[in-house]
């Protein structure tokens, strides 16, 4: 699952030795998995910090603990350390952390969901919003529901037509249009209030 190069192991051992805590290891987890903002987080952890369901990678002199919820996203991941004149660079390569591209045999619903999660929701998140697929109608209309800062936002129609619909139709040819199924009158914290 996760491989750790010898230079990276030496680097971690050196850092752990500086901490001076018996049994301390390194924990690896994925933040925002399956999205364009997915990232890995490494942190020191003592035995008491562990949940007990972590996947353990035994290294020379320490253990790497992989958070159980992150294991599926770290298949084929590697951690390396490259020395350079200014010290070194730790590199984590996790090819599936942002999700897997839908295969050639994937249906339109799976491809729509992938585009929403990987391309559209990261942009909406900057305003505290998100969108999800409710259904794909027989005529190709994608029915969507907005949440967060998009729920009740005065600019949602522009976002829907000029951003989301354009992107979905370009990426998923089966999509003929989009429809908003959100009750915007019940939005509690819209990014931009509707006028009137």
Evaluate whether 46 touches 117 at the Cβ level (below 8 Å): no
Q: What is the pLDDT of residue 67?
A: 92
Q: Is 192 domain-assigned?
A: no
| DSSP count for the chain of H helices, then E strands | 5, 10
Around Cβ 17, how many Cβ atoms within 10 Å? Answer: 12
Tens digit of each residue's pLDDT (9 = 90 or more) over 122-168: 778 777 888 999 999 999 999 999 888 788 777 788 888 889 999 99
Overall average pLDDT of the 174-180 stretch: 94
Q: How many structural domains comprise the chain?
A: 2
Residues 21-36 pLDDT 10s: 999 999 999 998 877 6
- Give the CATH number for residue 47: 2.60.300.12
Going by pLDDT thresholds of 50, 70 and 90, the confidence category of residue 191 is low
Domain boundary among 67, 93, 119: 93
Q: Give exposure, 23-60, as e/b (b: 16+ Cβ within 10 Å).
A: ebbbbbbbeebbbeebebeeeebeeeeeeeebeebebe
Looking up tokens 């990678």 gives: 57
- CATH number of the domain bearing residue 159: 3.30.300.130
Residue-level pLDDT at 189: 60
Whether 89 and 172 map to the same domain: the answer is no
Tens-place pLDDT, residues 56-96? 999 999 999 999 888 888 988 999 999 888 888 999 999 88
Those residues whose C-beta lies under 8 Å from the C-beta of residue 65, and which sit 6 or more positions away, are 25, 26, 27, 28, 45, 50, 54, 55, 56, 57
195 within a domain of the structure (yes/no): no
Alpha carbons 172 and 49: distance in angstroms, whole number? 44
Whether the predicted pLDDT of 185 surpasses 80: no
126 & 72 share domain: no
Predicted confidence band at 196 (pLDDT cuts at 50, 70, 90)?
A: low
Mark whether 89 and 11 lie in a shared domain: yes
Which structural domain, as residue segments, surrounds residue 60? 2-93
| 134 touches 144 (CB < 8 A) | yes
Q: Counting beta carbons within 10 angstroms of the beta carbon of residue 172, is it exposed (0 to 12), middle (13 to 18) or buried (19 or more)?
A: buried
Provide, rounded to the nearest whole percent, the portion of the chain with pLDDT above 70: 93
pLDDT class for 195, splitting at 50, 70, 90? Answer: low
Regarding whether 77 and 6 lie in a shared domain, the answer is yes
pTM reported for the whole predicted model: 0.56
157 token code pair? 């129609």
- Mean pLDDT across the chain: 87
> Two tokens at 38?
């997915």
């Amino acid at each position: 699952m996760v491989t750790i190069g010898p230079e990276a192991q030496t680097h971690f051992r050196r850092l752990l030795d500086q901490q001076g805590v018996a049994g301390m290891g390194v924990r690896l987890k994925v933040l925002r998995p399956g999205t364009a903002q997915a990232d890995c987080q490494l942190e020191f952890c003592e035995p008491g910090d562990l949940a007990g369901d972590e996947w353990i990678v035994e290294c020379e002199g320490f253990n790497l603990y992989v958070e159980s919820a992150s294991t599926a996203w770290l298949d084929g991941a590697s951690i390396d350390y490259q020395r350079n004149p200014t010290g070194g660079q730790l590199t984590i390569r996790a090819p599936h952390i942002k999700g897997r591209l839908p295969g050639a045999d994937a249906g339109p619903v799976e491809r729509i969901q992938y585009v929403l999660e990987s391309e559209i929701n990261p942009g909406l998140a900057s305003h505290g919003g998100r969108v999800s697929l409710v259904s794909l109608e027989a005529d190709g209309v994608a029915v969507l529901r907005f949440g967060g800062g998009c729920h009740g936002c005065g600019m949602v129609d522009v976002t829907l037509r000029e951003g989301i619909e354009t992107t979905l139709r370009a990426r998923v040819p089966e999509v003929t249009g989009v429809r908003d199924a959100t009750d915007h009158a019940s939005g509690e914290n819209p990014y931009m209030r509707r006028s009137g």
